[in-house]
Structure 1
């Protein structure tokens, strides 16, 4: 069987480092925040080329705190996209604000800047582009529009660790950005985890208090906060993994190139587009096909796992029917959602495994002998 993701292989490749890091935290008894989390914050901030990083318990919490620190609250509107994981929209809803959608670009599947300005109203208080599947949104026009209207931009970089736009790292362009360390992410914890990054000193101070019950110091609660703290063990594990992330990223990118070659000229699927001015880190290798469901069934029969990211856009999810959207409101997102299929991709994947998957896609699930 070819798995969609192989976390066991990753763990085995760095087992001594991970085990030592975990035992170190157990010995220190710094189970919540602590020295390992603080060190990881410094190292991840440097990785993103920003001043500050605030480690939290999930990527959703990171986005939530970024919105709160930007002053978002009830009655406000935040513009984002409907083709994303639901957590993007949930974080907006947690603040009491209303999510306002703009459709996506059909090539990158990220926010379409040409549709952005029409969605801005007097209540728009933030714009949240999503760097989908490991490739960044077209940030220059988004930032230009935001600056013209004096609206902060918060990057949803939960799938974009190490991605770049014109040489700038994900998380370093907007006023802040949220990342997820869910285990399947390019940089994944052994459990839940997230982080928010910023260059703004005041935002950093606010978010540090908000993640820890609104405390300025122990038992001095200056605002209503949350229990969003990162565990010490996760901080230690993420420090180890961060040292390997660039090598893992280049391995993902090389797997993607092999897929590109194997699927070039395919009559069944369209491979993802690597935009020239961006560094795609391939959190997901998502092809598109009108016969997506059939291909997925063929792969399953060939013992090849695959994924769907995401088959129902957020505006059509029952949980968000209160927003009042209907089929046809965001046609590009809806079409893409009906066609995307995520193929296996992970750093430890072999050339032969990539070739096997590509051959199976091209040949109706039949494996071609090497």
Structure 2
């Protein structure tokens, strides 16, 4: 069964990426160099932002962006608890504290109605997470941020090319941060990037990622080694030529799954909010009867890869309890116990999709 398993993710690497890497290796410039700059310009142009700063991970992109906003010891940043831990950790790295606002159970994104109730005189920024590839409600979030003079750092790690009101995420807040981990909609193997229209942030981010140096060996601040390599950038440049096609395939596959799963009792398929372009980094269903773990075991036994994104709200992570970073978000806790991500990536065939639908139907009949 394993040989025929429908995988939950499949990095799509072709000859263009391989040739790009080989050319970099032959050039001798394998650290940060001209390919990184080319990739930055290409990505910024695609998103619609003035600037882009490539980093070695999505996490370092978030950390750098928060530092650009001056987030430090004692500052609070409001974010979602229903996300990968990098979202919260990047705040902790600065000395700041993540404050968790609950999500909505339709999009699984942060609920703008919860944000304003959490704002204090220590609040410095809002970090919406565009979870699963669907934008958060950026119009409402931006209105709150403007009212309270707060920065917006968009965690767009899963949302390459997603749009809200025809504007790409990453180009709506003060800074946007993307990840290029292999499971993402596009990859550089490991890597991240920051987008912004603020020249001051652009110059500062470049300095932070290079040990705080504005010129070689002259350091006027504490920085980090967050640089991307030309090897990674070469992969990213090739992926940029394919990302629109990748996203179209994900949408096509999601629509096929929606049609096949729409009449299954006890399962909620992904909700698509108005005025958004979803890029389906994950296709996530909600198991209403609470038998999520039984579904997962059955799907895996029958050759369907699954993921649980995410099983634990961040404030319930052991290290956050130890650090006394608390929270109480009813919807996030319910989602954490009832969601399953199914395969949706561009490499899936129609037969693969039909197998997913068939096995989910069998699971529903078995566990309803």
TM-score range, shorter chain: over 0.9
- Aligned partner of 1:151 in structure 2 is 150
Contact map agreement 1:298 1:365 (CA 8 A) in 2: no
C-alpha distance in structure 2 between counterparts of 1:55 and 1:74, whole Å: 26
- Aligned partner of 1:265 in structure 2 is 263
Kindly report structure 1 stretches of 4+ aligned residues shifted beyond 4 Å. Answer: none
C-alpha distance in structure 1 between counterparts of 2:364 and 2:234, whole Å: 42
- Aligned partner of 2:229 in structure 1 is 231
- Aligned partner of 1:346 in structure 2 is 345
- Aligned partner of 1:299 in structure 2 is 299
> Aligned match of 1:248 in 246, 249, 256?
246
- Aligned partner of 1:97 in structure 2 is 96
- Aligned partner of 1:211 in structure 2 is 209
Alignment pair present for 1:276 and 2:277: no
Q: What's the secondary structure of 1:27's corresponding residue? A: helix
Q: What's the secondary structure of 2:303's corresponding residue? A: coil
> Aligned match of 1:288 in 286, 289, 305?
286
Q: CA RMSD in A?
A: 1.1
Alignment pair present for 1:320 and 2:295: no
Q: What's the secondary structure of 1:196's corresponding residue? A: strand
Structure 2: unaligned runs, 5 residues or longer = none
TM-score calculated relative to the size of structure 2: 0.95
C-alpha distance in structure 2 between counterparts of 1:276 and 1:354, whole Å: 26
Q: How many residues align?
A: 358
Contact map agreement 2:265 2:364 (CA 8 A) in 1: no
Aligned pairs for 1:94-173 (under 5 A) are 94-173=93-172
**CA shift for structure 1 position 283:** 0.3
Alignment pair present for 1:19 and 2:18: yes
Alignment pair present for 1:2 and 2:3: no
C-alpha distance in structure 2 between counterparts of 1:174 and 1:365, whole Å: 41
C-alpha distance in structure 2 between counterparts of 1:363 and 1:233, whole Å: 45
C-alpha distance in structure 2 between counterparts of 1:342 and 1:308, whole Å: 6
C-alpha distance in structure 2 between counterparts of 1:355 and 1:311, whole Å: 27
- Aligned partner of 1:62 in structure 2 is 61
C-alpha distance in structure 1 between counterparts of 2:49 and 2:10, whole Å: 31
Alignment pair present for 1:308 and 2:312: no
C-alpha distance in structure 2 between counterparts of 1:343 and 1:300, whole Å: 11
C-alpha distance in structure 2 between counterparts of 1:325 and 1:204, whole Å: 33
Contact map agreement 2:213 2:221 (CA 8 A) in 1: yes
Aligned pairs for 1:183-198 (under 5 A) are 183-190=182-189, 192-198=190-196
Structure 1: unaligned runs, 5 residues or longer = none
1:331-354 superposed Cα distances (whole Å, 9 cap, x missing partner)? 000000000100011101111211
